[in-house]
């Protein structure tokens, strides 16, 4: 039986936070342990260039994200863990796919449309500030996915459309050049997987409401203390459903801890106390990986060597695939 291939990329423009952990990293690492799947997880540093022109940010984020996944126990024997820019087959495939992707399809991509809408709003030229990287971003993403013939692509809701575009582009290629690609499917991270941030909105770097995953203990405590609550006093019953403290608790608690806190809310636990317990719950789970993270971050050569080994493994899949694709499109030795 051929293994189901699961693939996802992480854009290297930020520091991993609790929302990334709960929504993406934790489920991905768990899924990679399944013997019936082969997981491809990669650092999307070419994608980072679309969003950021700060070289130090992109570089630092690449280190932080790699160290985070390793510290949390990603098994690099079982999964294929690599950096997008180490795989030259990806931009080459990207070009072939550019020649398959309808411009009209790209016109409909959310990220591009949102940028145009902002320009319209500001009465600017619709193309103002929009580079070709942003416009053709879904094609690069399609190359990431199709390069490894991924069956399943776990993504946030905002990325579903991109996976569908990858499917469209694959279908067109298959139609013109013959069966070449698996048609990928998006797997949507469940609602529970969307963690609330300090202000109660979805935890996201763009809202500035995140709690970084591997903060030093004291800072973690400080951040947790900043989670927005209401004016209810100790002794007042509190509603777990509308409480960010409770929602975050839920993402880290087992069944017993969950019903325990539910009861505490009904009994009117003080906000300060609930936050203290939330800190302890999270801290207990991340103390060990945090230590590993810190030592990985101080041993830079090690991360680089892990990524080099991952690139070798990934190219073991990509090279023969690209060879066939070149042949399919007529780029062949003249013998
Ligand atoms: N664009 C994705 C994001 O911003 C990251 C990404 C790049 C990705 N290539 C991918 C995700 C391929 C899934 C598959 O979240």
For the chain, the C-alpha Rg in angstroms (whole number) is: 22
CB of 12 shorter than 6 A to ligand 1: no
Q: Angle of helix 271-298 relative to helix 217-225, nearest 10 degrees?
A: 140
276 vs 289: CA distance, rounded Å: 21
Q: What's the average pLDDT block by block, 10 residues per block, for the chain (335 residues)?
A: 92 95 92 95 97 96 97 96 98 98 96 95 95 96 98 92 98 98 90 83 92 97 96 96 96 97 97 98 98 93 97 98 98 93
pTM above 0.85, yes or no: yes
Ligand 1 atom 11: residue of nearest CA: 9
Is any ligand 1 atom within 6 A of the Cβ of residue 83?
A: no
| Alpha carbon of 149 to ligand 1 centroid (Å) | 15
Residue 84 DSSP one-character state = G
Q: Indicate the top mutation candidate among 155, 165, 193 to test ligand 1's pocket, ranked by most ligand atoms within 8 A of CB.
A: 155
28 CB near ligand 1 (under 6 Å): no
Q: In what order do the strands lie in the sheet with 37-44?
A: 80-83, 37-44, 4-11, 152-155, 185-188
For the Cβ of 144 lying below 6 angstroms from any atom of ligand 1, the answer is yes
- Structure tokens belonging to residue 329: 């499109």
| Residue-level pLDDT at 252 | 96
Q: Which fold has domain 4-101+136-195+299-329?
A: Rossmann fold (3.40.50)
Q: Domain limits of the chain?
A: 4-101+136-195+299-329, 214-294
Neighbours of 72 (CB within 10 A): 21
Tell me how far apart the 2 most distant CA atoms of the chain are, in Å. 84
Query: Residue of the nearest CA to atom 8 in ligand 1?
Result: 9
What is the C-alpha separation between 335 and 35, in angstroms, rounded? 43
Q: Which two tokens stand for residue 172?
A: 């067109």
**Per-residue pLDDT at 191:** 56
278: Cβ contacts below 8 Å, ≥ 6 apart: 224, 227, 245, 248, 249, 252
Cα angle 112, 208, 215; round to 5: 125
Ligand 1 atom showing the smallest separation from residue 150 Cα: 14
Predicted pLDDT at 136: 95
Q: How far is the CA of 172 from the centre of ligand 1 (A)?
A: 21
Regarding the domain with residue range 214-294, which homologous superfamily does it belong to in the CATH classification?
Tyrosyl-Transfer RNA Synthetase (1.10.240.10)
Question: How far is residue 330 from each of residues 11, 98, 263, measured CA to CA in Å?
Answer: 33, 16, 67
Please give the pLDDT value at position 77. 95
- Region label for 268, one of left (φ > 0), alpha (ψ between -120 and 50) or beta (otherwise): left
- Between CA 94 and CA 37, with CA 11 as vertex, the angle to 5 degrees is 75
What is 223-264 written as a DSSP string? HHHTS---SPPTTS---GGG-HHHHHHHHH--HHHHHHHHHH
């Amino acid at each position: 039986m051929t293994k189901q291939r699961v693939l996802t990329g992480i854009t290297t423009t930020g520091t991993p936070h609790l929302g990334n952990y709960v929504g993406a990293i934790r489920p991905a690492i768990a899924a990679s342990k399944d013997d019936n799947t082969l997981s491809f997880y990669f650092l999307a540093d070419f994608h980072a260039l679309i969003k950021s022109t700060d070289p130090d940010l992109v570089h630092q984020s690449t280190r932080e994200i790699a160290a985070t996944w390793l510290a949390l126990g990603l098994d690099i024997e079982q999964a294929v863990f690599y950096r997008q820019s180490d795989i030259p087959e990806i931009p080459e495939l990207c070009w072939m796919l550019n020649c398959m992707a309808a411009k009209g399809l790209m016109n409909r991509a959310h990220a591009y449309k949102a940028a145009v809408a902002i320009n319209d709003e500001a009465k600017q030229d619709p193309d103002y500030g929009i580079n070709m990287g942003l416009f053709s971003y879904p094609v690069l993403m399609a190359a990431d996915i199709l390069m490894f013939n991924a069956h399943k692509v776990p993504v946030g809701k905002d990325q579903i459309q991109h996976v569908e575009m990858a499917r469209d582009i694959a279908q067109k290629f298959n139609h013109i050049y013959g069966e070449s690609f698996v048609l990928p499917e998006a797997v949507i991270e469940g609602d529970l997987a969307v963690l609330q941030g300090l202000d109660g909105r979805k935890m996201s770097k763009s809202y500035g409401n995140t709690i970084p995953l591997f903060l030093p203990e004291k800072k973690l405590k400080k951040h947790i203390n900043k989670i927005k609550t209401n004016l209810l006093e100790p002794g007042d019953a509190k509603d777990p459903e509308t409480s960010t403290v409770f929602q975050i608790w839920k993402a880290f608690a087992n069944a017993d801890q969950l019903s325990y806190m539910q009861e505490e809310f009904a009994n009117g636990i003080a906000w300060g106390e609930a936050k203290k317990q939330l800190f302890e719950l999270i801290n207990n789970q991340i103390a060990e990986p945090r230590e590993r993270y810190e030592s990985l971050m101080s041993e830079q050569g090690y991360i680089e060597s892990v990524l080099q080994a991952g690139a070798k493994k990934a190219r073991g899949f990509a090279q023969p695939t690209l060879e066939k694709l070149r042949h399919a499109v007529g780029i062949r030795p003249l013998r």
